[in-house]
Amino acid sequence: MYVRSAAAATAAFLGLTLTVFGAAAASAAPGGPDWFSNPIVYAHRGASAYAPENTLQAIDLAMEMGFDWVENDVQRTRDGELVVIHDDTLARTTDVEQVFPDRKPWRVHDFTAAEIARLDAGSWFGQEFAGARVPTLRQYMNRVQRNQQRLLLEIKKPELYPGIEQQTLDVLEETGWLDENHVNRRLVVQSFSADSVRTVHELRPDLVTAFLGTPALADLPRYAEFTDRINPWYTTIDSDWVAAVHGLVGAHGRAMEVDTWIVDDAATTLKVREMGVDGIITDKPDVVREAVGGY
């Protein structure tokens, strides 16, 4: 850039410094916008287009691809262990039908943690992932910590698992994820259940929380009382709706935010960025990153 004088050069430098510092501060804040106002990219169930979802292999791959925000799903076994799996049955993403052929419909809550640990959660995706396991939440949190990643944790179908909110918080505490650094910079808890999100907020008011869904505009102020974000399916929103969410102050006294899902192509990425979303949850984080400029 051509600068005509020393004074102008100094002013330009200071302006650039303030701009970069402001962007860095926003990025460091929980849920703050990423560099140059591009949406934050969340690797949905890890890099799940390229590795079996919700496995340690999927979050390791996300790390290798350069993504520090990952998303997962938490459910509970028959004997009370929290495990990371999306469906409330084991059939789609494991070999449970072969290992336990007489246990149909293979619900997660009908199996013990030891039984689930026997299952292959990788071969369905590709033979190179044979032997991958359904991780416990403790195993998963330890791996995210090792990878220096950040986590968007979904409490899945809490109506099936009474008390899962407190139990999830207990595991987070035991694995070192409820100290100030993690709570302020590295963790968001979300659910499709407003009651579950409200419960998490009441138990740990310092945690950033998100509601999954698209409430009517008239209902948004009610959600702002106990959550910080509204995370909708991208097909259900437009710019006006996003602006309405941004116009509300959430549970922590900041403007509410919007992270949308599941966006896996460049055209849709650009569309939702134009709507003003703060984050994009995707199975193909590399595709989304490239579409918004390769950050």
The residues annotated with a catalytic role in the active site are 44, 86
Q: How many CA atoms lie within 13 A of 90 on its CB side?
A: 33
Residue 128 to residues 17, 20, 44, 97, 207, Cα–Cα distance (Å): 46, 42, 20, 20, 38
- CA-only gyration radius of the chain, Å: 20
Give CA–CA dist 169/64, Å, rounded. 28
Name every residue whose Cβ is closer than 8 Å to that of residue 67 and which is 6 or more positions away in sequence: 41, 42, 43, 47, 149, 285, 289
**199 in helix, strand or coil?**
helix
* Measured distance CA(200)–CA(193) in Å, rounded: 11
Q: How far apart are CA 265 and CA 283, in angstroms?
A: 10
> Could you tell me where the DSSP H helices lie in 42-109?
56-64, 96-99
